């Protein structure tokens, strides 16, 4: 298995299948875990990190043997992965920017369907992530819970009977779980109703983040909603809150889309087609502009305002026009100016 094989597929998270997928791009659960008997990475020495990595990978390889009938795993030592490939993995939401840009002994274990990733020596010893297209938290929870049990049999976790899972940052103590849902909310952005969503979400202790998670900008009208609290609530309880919250936002976005269609149908159509026209004709285009235009076209496809392109192509373009993806497609690293030209050419080749 080779990273290059991933280049031509949109990845699990932009596959475009699953419930509510017109608005809910993907669901994700990640668990922060630490191995008992080792110091947290905030204080660990280089030798301890190296040993940890060896121990963890050795145990995870045992896991692989047990995964009969499931997608094969890929073990990547981040020090042996090029800078470009590391950014590529960030763009696919398989590793964090911190792991990609970090130093020292660290790794990621992925499955070939990109529905699973285990970061080793990120902020915690282990960051186990399960990802799927659309809105399906129950099956995701079952899957990651089972995996978590299996790993815990191989690697005893740092655990406190009152506090629960112990983590490097206190904000993760307890369940160590973060449930995130990526939403596409162009109509709420267009009408500025998004601000009300932000306020409501924050009031009930959820957070809203941009396309690449913590501290990143919203791009292409994509927003990640996730829980802020990990302590004092069970995993099932957290998932239940999310299952109550997300459908309300989805409904809100749909309502606003339809009232836009009713009241400003032609302006909406104009916006969608102009975005499509720009994508089809630009000769220089930034990653940000691409995302914004694709966002408008994506909504247009979902509202049947445009039929010249399908949602799969749009989803693929979202990921394949990202800087690292584009450079991998072109087979070389490129300066920003040149990327903007090649990006425009690539988009044209896909849309024409």
Binding site for its own copies (CB under 8 A): 266-267, 269-270, 273-274, 276-278, 280-285, 341, 344
63 neighbors 71 (Cβ within 8 angstroms): no
Which C-beta is closer to its own copies: that of 294 or that of 344?
344
| Shortest CB 266 distance to its own copies, Å | 6
Which C-beta is closer to its own copies: that of 242 or that of 275?
275
With left for phi above 0 and alpha for psi between -120 and 50, is residue 44 left, alpha or beta?
Answer: beta
Per the document, the length of the chain is 352
| Shortest CB 285 distance to its own copies, Å | 8
Which C-beta is closer to its own copies: that of 197 or that of 309?
309
Residue 171 CA, chain-centre distance (Å), reads 20
| Shortest CB 190 distance to its own copies, Å | 15
Which C-beta is closer to its own copies: that of 238 or that of 297?
297
Reported as half-sphere exposure (CB side, CA atoms, 13 A), residue 51 has a value of: 10
Place of tokens 């500025």: 192
* Interatomic CA distance for residues 114 and 10, integer angstroms: 10
284 neighbors 340 (Cβ within 8 angstroms): yes
Place of tokens 């130093």: 103
| Shortest CB 87 distance to its own copies, Å | 25
Tokens describing residue 173: 């103590």
| Phi, psi of 211, rounded to the nearest 5 degrees | -60, -40
Which C-beta is closer to its own copies: that of 55 or that of 341?
341
End-to-end CA distance of the chain: give it in Å, rounded. 32
| Shortest CB 116 distance to its own copies, Å | 41
Cβ contacts of 110 within 8 Å, gap of 6 or more: 73, 74, 76, 94, 116, 117, 118
Which C-beta is closer to its own copies: that of 258 or that of 274?
274
| Shortest CB 169 distance to its own copies, Å | 45
206 neighbors 225 (Cβ within 8 angstroms): yes
| Shortest CB 326 distance to its own copies, Å | 16
Which C-beta is closer to its own copies: that of 169 or that of 284?
284
């Amino acid at each position: 298995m080779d990273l290059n094989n991933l280049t031509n597929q949109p990845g699990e998270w932009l596959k475009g299948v699953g419930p509510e997928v017109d608005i809910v791009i993907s669901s994700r659960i990640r668990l922060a875990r630490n191995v008992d008997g080792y110091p947290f990475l905030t204080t660990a020495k280089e030798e301890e990190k190296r040993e940890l990595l060896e121990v963890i990978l050795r145990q995870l390889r045992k896991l692989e043997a047990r995964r009969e009938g499931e997608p094969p795993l890929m073990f990547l030592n981040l020090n042996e992965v090029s800078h470009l490939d590391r950014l590529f993995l960030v763009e696919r939401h398989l590793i964090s920017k911190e792991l990609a840009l970090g130093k020292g002994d660290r790794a990621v274990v992925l499955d070939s369907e990109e529905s699973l990733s285990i970061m080793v020596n990120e902020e915690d010893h282990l960051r186990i992530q399960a990802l799927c297209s659309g809105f399906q938290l129950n099956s995701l929870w079952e899957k990651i819970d089972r995996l978590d049990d299996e790993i815990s049999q191989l690697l005893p976790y740092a655990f406190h009977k009152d506090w629960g899972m112990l983590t490097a940052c206190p904000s993760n103590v307890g369940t160590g779980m973060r449930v995130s849902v990526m939403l596409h909310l162009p109509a709420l952005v267009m009408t500025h109703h998004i601000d009300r969503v932000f306020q409501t979400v924050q009031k009930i202790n959820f957070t809203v983040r941009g396309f690449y998670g913590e501290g990143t900008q919203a791009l292409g009208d994509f927003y990640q909603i996730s829980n802020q609290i990990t302590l004092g609530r069970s995993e099932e309880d957290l998932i239940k809150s999310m299952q109550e919250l997300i459908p309300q936002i989805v409904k809100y976005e749909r309502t606003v889309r339809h009232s836009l269609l009713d009241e400003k149908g032609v302006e909406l159509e104009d916006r969608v087609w102009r975005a499509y026209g720009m994508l089809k004709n630009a000769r220089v285009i930034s990653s940000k502009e691409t995302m914004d235009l694709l966002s408008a076209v994506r909504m247009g496809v979902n509202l049947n305002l445009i039929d010249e392109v399908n949602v799969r192509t749009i989803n693929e373009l979202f990921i394949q026009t990202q800087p690292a993806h584009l450079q991998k497609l072109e087979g070389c690293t490129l300066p920003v100016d040149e990327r903007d030209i090649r990006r425009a050419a690539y988009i044209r080749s896909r849309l024409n």
